[in-house]
A and B are shown apart, each in its own frame.
Chain A
């Protein structure tokens, strides 16, 4: 007959043979966990690579846009526009001199008819 304290010390020495296939099951579980860890590492690396690529492409596009619209270019475009508008105001459309001549002739014609 034993009391509780004796039973406690016995329980520390208590051993039951573990099933033989237990290690194989445990090992495969550990390998699965290792594979998962590897996959998750690969995922992190690939996500980081994609983000880097997107950032690089964006930076490249932005730098190209900046090249197109530099201040020197815009001033050139402006001056071209001004030039074009000057051409529009040229006598080609309005021909003021011709109008004036026509008016004076008309005036002369009307004074002739009054006489």
Chain B
């Protein structure tokens, strides 16, 4: 019989080691996945993951039961990743495309590659592109929220997303041309 999440939360609020271990076992892979999406190095991802979980377990008193508990934990992990990136990486979040171009470029119904493919490609993107792409596409933050979180303008956030999408498509095209050179050649000739 699986233990109810409310009971686990209560045990963690009482600082019971057993409850902490159960919570860890239940969410470790989900939360570690977030860290690996934001941070290239697995050592950095592990450090941030541990720091995030430590914060979750020590600040669990501040969770008042409002909203989804997993969502609350995800926010802590994302914030820790952003803090780490701000401290240790130059995000290069300065490029801004004129507003008129942005309106034409952004479309949430744009078709992208499969999830696994994109996760692999994310590692090849610069930290700034990867961060904005993660926040917008996977965490469902709005550009205004991303701008606040990263201390950039809304325009810059939009630009970073467009450039990230372009770079992803470029990488996919490059990979396809390497896999099916004849197919690509024929497409270019059409």
Residues of A with Cβ closer than 8 Å to B? 1-8, 10-11, 14-19, 22-23, 25-27, 29-30, 33-34
Contact = CB atoms under 8 A, between A and B. Distances in A.
B50 interface: yes
What does DSSP make chain B's interface, helix, strand, loop or mixed?
Answer: helix
B115 A3 contact: no
Nearest to B20: A30
Nearest to B140: A8
Interface of B: 15, 17, 20-21, 24, 28-33, 36-37, 42, 46, 49-50, 53-54, 57-58, 108-115, 118-119, 137-140
A5 B137 CA distance: 8
A18 B112 CA distance: 27
Contacts of B138: 7-8, 11, 14
Contact of A7 (B20, B31, B50, B115): B115
B111 A16 contact: no
Contacts of A26: 24, 50, 53-54, 57
A17 B25 CA distance: 11
A104 to B, nearest CB: 106
A7 B31 CA distance: 17
Contacts of B42: 19
A105 to B, nearest CB: 107
A15 B115 CA distance: 12
A94 B68 CA distance: 106
Nearest to A33: B58
A28 to B, nearest CB: 10
A22 B29 CA distance: 11
Given A4-B137, A25-B50, A18 B113 contact: no
Contacts of A22: 28, 32, 46, 49-50, 53
Contact of B115 (A11, A19, A27, A30): A11
A3 B108 contact: yes
Contact of A30 (B29, B36, B54): B54
A16 B112 contact: no
Given A2-B112, A16-B33, A34-B15, 16 more contacts: A4-B108, A4-B137, A5-B108, A8-B140, A14-B30, A14-B37, A14-B138, A15-B33, A16-B32, A18-B31, A19-B49, A22-B46, A22-B50, A23-B28, A29-B50, A33-B58
Contacts of A17: 29, 32
Contacts of B28: 18, 22-23
